[in-house]
Amino acid sequence: MYDNWEELEQSIINCQKCKLCKARKNIVFGEGNKQADVMFIGEGPGADEDTQGLPFVGRAGQLMNKAFQGLGIDRKEVYITNIVKCRPPNNRVPEEDEAAACLDYLRNQVLLVKPKIIVLLGSTALKNILGKEYGITASRGKWIEKKDIYYMPTWHPAALLRDENKKIEFWKDLKQVLIKKKELEQIEK
């Protein structure tokens, strides 16, 4: 484990633990407030993210940004990252060995950020963080608390592009995150 961001990022830049490193243009490390109370974890970079080296900048990210704006969430005040740091070919779901190769990096990011709330965007994030026994349809919108962190599983923004009906549920889930954040701030006072 790395105790600073620079060493962690450098280790990911040099990473060759799985085959995803062969085709990447850029690693997609993560961005935002490195001391955020709320962390968002997605699946993996798409083409736009691979090109820019930033998470959630493509169509799904633009949709997420609209939800953030509508709810008053400042993207710079949260931390956003993914299960895998390199783009899977054709935006496919990361394979088990690929996700496993990146999980220590992600755990290290969580340890450095120390979020109170983690929003799990989609099935890949949910299963890799909380376990294979969880399904996104059954878990979505329900708080799961583990090791003093509150997890909110919700739809991945890409799912909203495929099914407009999921937008309302996504919106409700993010509203719950804001409510929980305020509750936790009140407890700290």
Quick one: average pLDDT of 98-103? 97
Q: What is the pLDDT of residue 159?
A: 97
For residue 58, is it within any domain? yes
CATH number where 75 lies: 3.40.470.10
On whether residue 10 sits in a domain, the answer given is no
Whether residue 150 lies inside any domain: the answer is yes
The one-character DSSP state at 26 is S
Q: Is residue 17 part of a domain?
A: no
Identify whether 120 is part of a domain: yes
pLDDT (0 to 100) of residue 129: 97
Query: Does residue 6 sit within a domain?
Result: no
Summarize pLDDT for 8-37 with one digit per residue, the tens: 999 999 999 999 999 999 999 999 999 999
What's the pLDDT at 54? 97
Instruction: State how far the Cα of 34 lies from the Cα of 4, in Å rounded to an integer.
Output: 11
The pLDDT of residue 188: 83
| Number of domains the chain contains | 1
Percentage of the chain surpassing pLDDT 90? Answer: 97
How many degrees, rounded to 5, is the angle at CA 24 between CA 20 and CA 27? 95
Residue 14 lies in a domain: no
Q: Which domain holds residue 43?
A: 22-188
In a domain, 3, yes or no: no
CA atoms of 146 and 112, how far apart (whole Å): 17
- CA neighbor of 27 nearest in space, from 37, 17, 36, 35: 17
Rounded to 5°, the CA angle 138-70-85 comes to 60
